[in-house]
Amino acid sequence: MRYRIYGKTGWNVSEIGFGAWGLGGDWGPVDDDHSIQTLLSAWDRGINFVDTAQMYGKGHSEEVIGQALKQWRGDHIYIATKVQPVEWPHPGDGNPTLEGRYPRKYVREQCEASISRLGIEAIDVYQLHGWFPRGVEQTEWHTILDELKQEGKIRSIGISIRDYRPEDGIAIAQTGMVETQQVVYNIFEQRPSDRLFPVCGENGVAVLARVPFDEGALVGTWTKDTYNSWASYDFRRQYFKGERYNRTLEKVEQINNTVKRLTGDRYSGLAEVALRFCLSNPYVSCVIPGIKSLKQLESNMQASDGEPLPDELLQELKAFNWPRNYHNPDAKVDPE
């Protein structure tokens, strides 16, 4: 496992982290004992960064991580978690207010509850689960997070940029108010590298690249029947509803053909290519693929060897930039 400096914190963080949403059960059935063993195996192999949230399984993801931490006897594991707003704006609202979404008492209560579930003294990275740009002026959220930082309950302040809106992180990166930003970055969503990443780099803000597999599509193993195999409560059934699923499969096949044409059998599969795509960008501090099993862990570990994708492939992959905010129920299959 290779490590990167985590922004101005100076931490040495594994360039591949452990995305723990799936451990909460929101993506289908989970076995907690298996999840704990997967976490311990990941840490034993050098992964030292875990990203979770209070809303993942209504706190269950944090609880499982906490159980694993009780058994861990190795070096420090960096834990990032998130507090969700008391009310989410409509996905179609492009400029929602942040006022009242993270009130002081609520944030403190949620932070302390996360600390309790995780069984730790302090959260390394505490993030707003939904960032709204008006928070640059509406700063109640930062006042309480700074208080928690001064009290030693959190070690750094972060934001998770809402949906597919990389431009929302530019202004806050320039203020010095946060140490880390989490943003969607993958072969289909390449826009963060245009403006957001350079600004973060200039201001010492660490970059967490999330959704490297586009909610699973870029693993490259889906078939026409995969959609019907998902449980009724699986997040992806709504996200890829209607023609979204078939259109995504078409795009993934095109990417696979491009990779094969340029690199043959050099890579184990599209999942490895998707992770290497993220890690090929030097501004990325850590990429956090979702991991639920030892098999997924083994697959993800292959990408951490310091070898970026070939320049020719990176250039051709630019043609697959396809940002579409499917979190918005009204989003078009192919946005203009």
pLDDT in tens, 159-195: 999 999 999 999 999 999 999 999 999 999 999 999 9
- At residue 159, φ and ψ (nearest 5 deg) are -130, 150
- DSSP of 255-274: HHHHHHHHHTTSSS-HHHHH
Give the Cα separation of 2 and 153 in Å (integer).
28
Residue % of the chain over a pLDDT of 90: 91
DSSP 154: B
- Residue 158: C-alpha distances to residues 37, 113, 311, 312 (Å): 28, 18, 32, 34
5 bridge partner residues: 12
Query: What are 263-322's pLDDT values in tens digits?
Result: 999 999 999 999 999 999 999 999 999 999 999 999 999 999 999 999 999 999 999 999
Residue 153: CA atoms inside 13 Å, Cβ hemisphere, count? 18
Cβ neighbours, 10 Å, residue 103: 15
78 bridge partner residues: 49
Give the chain's end-to-end CA distance (angstroms, integer): 40
Report residue 29's pLDDT band, with 50, 70 and 90 as the boundaries: confident
Give the Cα separation of 64 and 30 in Å (integer).
11
Give the Cα separation of 77 and 141 in Å (integer).
26
Evaluate whether 266 touches 232 at the Cβ level (below 8 Å).
no
Evaluate whether 157 touches 9 at the Cβ level (below 8 Å).
no
pTM of the model: 0.96
Instruction: Note the pLDDT of residue 100.
Output: 95
